[in-house]
C-alpha cells in the first residue's frame, strides 16, 4: 500500500488508449469504501467517456485557467499569493494546450459530485473517496488527477453552472472535482515533499 501511495502522481499527459469499463467499476467500488460521517456517503459520480461530452468540459477547464491568468495582475491579493504574478500568468498561458488535452485525451473523466444535504462534511468525504479512486487507478496502472472545483483559485473562475447544465446535474448537487483517468503518456517528476521532522510533533506541538 505505501508503495502505491508514494508512487502515485498527478497525471497531466494521457494516452487515448482504450481502458476497460471494468476498471472504472473497480475504481468506483473503491470510492464507496471511503469513510464518511455517520456513514452518510454523500458522493455521486458522473462518468464521461463520449468525445462530444469531453470537448465542452475541456473548454470550460481551459477557459477557467485563461480567466485566472488574465485576472492575475488585477487581483488585490496577487502580491501575497504569487511571488511573480507576471511569471505565473505567462506560465499558465503556455499550458493551455496541455490542459485541454488533460481532459480530451484520457478515455474517462469522472465528475465527482456530492449532495450537501447528506453531510455537512461532504468535501472532506469526497476527498477521501477521490483519494481511494486515484490510488486504485494507480494500482491498475492507470493515471489520474484531481482537479478540484470548490475551493481552489481555479474554482473561482470555472463556470460550474455551465458544466452542471451540460451534464444535467441537479441544482442542489455540488460539483467537487474533475478526475481524468487513463493510461499514462508522461510521468511527471516527483514533486517536492516535506520531510517528516517538518510536519510532526511528538507528545506536544
Ligand atoms: C485540491 C486540489 C486541486 C488540484 N487542482 C489541479 C488542477 O487544477 N490541475 C492539475 O493538473 N492538478 C491539480 N491538482 C494536483 C496537484 O497539483 C498535485 O496533487 C500536487 O502538485 C502534488 O503532486 P502529486 O499529486 O503528483 O503528488 C490538484 C490537487 C488537489 C488536491
Q: In which residue are the cell numbers 455551465 written? A: 162
Contact assessment for residue 61 and residue 163, using Cβ atoms and an 8 Å cutoff: no
**What pLDDT is attached to residue 80?**
83
Q: Give the pLDDT confidence of 106-165 residue by residue, as tens digits.
A: 999 999 999 999 999 999 999 999 999 999 999 999 999 999 999 999 999 999 999 999
pLDDT of residue 75: 84
Inside any domain, residue 202: no
pLDDT at 200: 93
Is there a domain that residue 125 lies in? yes
> What is the CA(186)–ligand 1 centre distance, in A?
16
Ordered alpha helix ranges (H), the chain: 2-7, 21-32, 51-71, 78-81, 85-93, 96-104, 122-139, 153-157, 160-167
Q: How far apart are CA 89 and CA 198, in angstroms?
A: 31
Which CATH number covers residue 41? 3.40.109.10
Distance between CA atoms of residues 31 and 177, nearest Å: 14
Residue 103 has pLDDT above 90, yes or no: yes
Q: Tens digit of pLDDT for each residue in 22-70?
A: 999 999 999 999 999 999 999 999 999 999 999 999 999 999 999 999 9
pLDDT at 92 over 90: yes
At 76 the pLDDT is: 84
For residue 78, is pLDDT > 90? no
Q: How far is the CA of 143 from the centre of ligand 1 (A)?
A: 13
Instruction: Report if residue 30 sits inside a domain.
Output: yes
201 inside domain: no
Q: Is residue 204 part of a domain?
A: no
Q: Is residue 205 part of a domain?
A: no
What's the confidence (pLDDT) of residue 123?
A: 98
Q: Residue 22 domain-assigned?
A: yes
- What pLDDT, on the 0 to 100 scale, is given for residue 81? 84
pLDDT of residue 162: 98
Distance 203 CA to ligand 1 centre (A): 32
- Of 60, 100, 146, the one to substitute when testing ligand 1's pocket (max ligand atoms within 8 A of C-beta) is 146
196 found inside a domain: no
Number of domains into which the chain is organized:
1
* Predicted local distance difference test score (pLDDT) of residue 85: 86
pLDDT grade for 7, boundaries at 50, 70 and 90:
very high
Expressed as residue numbers, the domain containing 153 is 2-188
Q: Would you state the pLDDT for residue 82?
A: 82
Amino acid at each position: 500500500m505505501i508503495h502505491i501511495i508514494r508512487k502515485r502522481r498527478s497525471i497531466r499527459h494521457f494516452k487515448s488508449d482504450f481502458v476497460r469499463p471494468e476498471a472504472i467499476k473497480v475504481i468506483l467500488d473503491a470510492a464507496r469504501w471511503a469513510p464518511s460521517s455517520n456513514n452518510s456517503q454523500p458522493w455521486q459520480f458522473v462518468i464521461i467517456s463520449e468525445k462530444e461530452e469531453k470537448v465542452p468540459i475541456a473548454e470550460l477547464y481551459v477557459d477557467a485557467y485563461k480567466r485566472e491568468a488574465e485576472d492575475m495582475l488585477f487581483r488585490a491579493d496577487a502580491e501575497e499569493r504569487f511571488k511573480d504574478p507576471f511569471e505565473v500568468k505567462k506560465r499558465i498561458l503556455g499550458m493551455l494546450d496541455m490542459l485541454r488535452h488533460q481532459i480530451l485525451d484520457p478515455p474517462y473523466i469522472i465528475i465527482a459530485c456530492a449532495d450537501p444535504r447528506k453531510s455537512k462534511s461532504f468535501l472532506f468525504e469526497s476527498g477521501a473517496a477521490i483519494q481511494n479512486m486515484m490510488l486504485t487507478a494507480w494500482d491498475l496502472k492507470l493515471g489520474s488527477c484531481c482537479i478540484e472545483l470548490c475551493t481552489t483559485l481555479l474554482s473561482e473562475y470555472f463556470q460550474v453552472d455551465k458544466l452542471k447544465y451540460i451534464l444535467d446535474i441537479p441544482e442542489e448537487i455540488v460539483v467537487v472535482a474533475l478526475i481524468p483517468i487513463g493510461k499514462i503518456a508522461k510521468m511527471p517528476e516527483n514533486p517536492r515533499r516535506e520531510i517528516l521532522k517538518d510536519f510532526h510533533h511528538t507528545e506536544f506541538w
